[in-house]
Amino acid sequence: MGPIFEELFMDPSGLARLGRLHTCHGAIDTPCFMPVGTQAAVKALSPEDLKECGAQIILGNTYHLYLRPGHRLIEELGGLHSFMSWDRPILTDSGGFQVFSLAGFRKIEEEGAVFRSHIDGSYRRLTPELAIEIQEALGSDIMMCLDTCIPYPVDEKDAAEATALTSRWAARCKAAKRRKELHLFGIIQGGMSRQLRQKSAEDLIEIGFNGYALGGLSVGEPKEMLFEMVETTRPLIPKRHPVYLMGVGAPEDLVECVSRGIDMFDCVMPTRNARNGMLFTSSGRIVIKNACFQRDPGPIDPCCGCYACRNYSRAYLRHLFMAKELLAYRLLSIHNIHYYLSLMKEIRGAIKKGCLEAWRQAFYRKREELCSGHQ
């Protein structure tokens, strides 16, 4: 088997890069964005919708699938790909972030995280070994180590302890891994401390993973801090590995972080915002329920080629949204996912041509020029 990640083209900046990530279910072009399919479905979308939008890989949530319907049930039914009828790569997170953000009660112990299920209130213990067991049962192409999330702000001592525990759990995750064909990524923690981030990266690189993620970012810190953490941590990771920035972010964040060397992204923003009627367009964001769209015969974005923009007017989509028609959520989600995936495709094209910086400036200029007219 060849290397799991190939760096195909490096931008003149020396940071942004075009790559290819190989998995059991095929290769992924990077930089890439992964739509989030929390409960074995990307909300409101079918696999065909996702493919038409250009999705190469999606993300599943270990925490949710463990609680419902359960990883053993999914395994019995042939694994997550077969269960949800998706034949392209899947990355699953480890559940660490959801324990942190969703569970009604949580206690972090050396052995693992004890928490109360947000579904039925039952007490559960998620250990590094169980996180791997679940992800192997799901048949995830890219598994993530169980990590401990650090709130923001946090005191240095707590951050240091949580970061050290994440390293110990990472070693246990690697030891627990049985299925050689699946990839395992380590998650670099460290809060907003450069020193802790560096220590975390060194620990994980020493253990050795197929790829590395930056976790615990976009948790309420100022944007400059996020960029600083990416800028200072990214260079510590050897070039032969893909680097994944977890849970980030807005389109601008993707543009900025690709320029800082990130290869992979995921975020609920495109689908969640769609369900709230907020749409991304080449000229900025629009809120479909606004009265100005009531009689608007144009598509969401005249520059967009998605199914929703090819077939429906803003007036119709606004009507569906106001009437709470289920079709609205699907059409708006298709548009936003298409926007994100097209953005990444454009970015890859710009890197290939060696003109990412010029593309980036044009991206912002276009929004400035057009934005005011559509808000």
Tell me the closest approach of the beta carbon of residue 139 to its own copies, in angstroms: 15
Q: Does 93 qualify as catalytic in the annotation?
A: yes
Cβ atoms of residues 44 and 275 within 8 Å: yes
Could you give the residue ranges of the DSSP H alpha helices within the chain? 47-53, 62-67, 71-76, 80-84, 96-101, 128-138, 156-176, 194-207, 223-233, 251-258, 269-275, 307-311, 314-322, 326-352, 356-374
Q: Is 314 exposed, middle or buried (0-12, 13-18, 19+ CB in 10 A)?
A: buried
One-letter amino acid at 198 equals: Q
CA 335 from centre of chain:
18
Q: What is the largest CA-CA distance in the chain?
A: 60
Residue type, 217: L
Beta bridge partners of 20: 6, 29
Surface-to-core class of residue 275, CB atoms within 10 Å of its CB (0-12 exposed, 13-18 middle, 19+ buried) = middle
One of 93, 147, 203, 301 is an active-site residue; which one? 93
Amino acid identity, residue 118? H
**Closer by beta carbon to its own copies, 27 or else 287:** 287
Compute the least distance from the CB of residue 44 to its own copies, in Å. 4
- Indicate the pairing of strand 284-287 with strand 278-281: antiparallel
92: closest CA among 124, 137, 122? 137
Binding site for its own copies (CB under 8 A): 39-41, 43-47, 68-69, 73, 76-78, 83-85, 294-295, 297, 311-313, 315-316, 318-320, 322-323, 325-327, 329-331
Please say which residue, 36 or 257, places its beta carbon nearer to its own copies: 36
| SS3 state at 193 | coil
3-state secondary structure of 153: coil
Annotated catalytic residue 29:
no
Least distance (Å) between residue 146 CB and its own copies: 23
Backbone angles phi, psi at 175, to 5 degrees: -65, -30
- DSSP labels for 82-104? HHHT--S-EEE--SHHHHHHT-S
Looking at the Cβ atoms of 81 and 183, the one nearer to its own copies is 81
User: In angstroms, how far is the first alpha carbon of the chain from the final one?
Assistant: 51
Residue 246: strand, helix, or coil: coil
Q: Which two tokens stand for residue 66?
A: 């463990």
CA angle 204, 240, 249 (to 5 degrees): 70
> Which is the catalytic residue, given 11, 147, 266, 301?
266
Catalytic annotation, residues: 93, 266
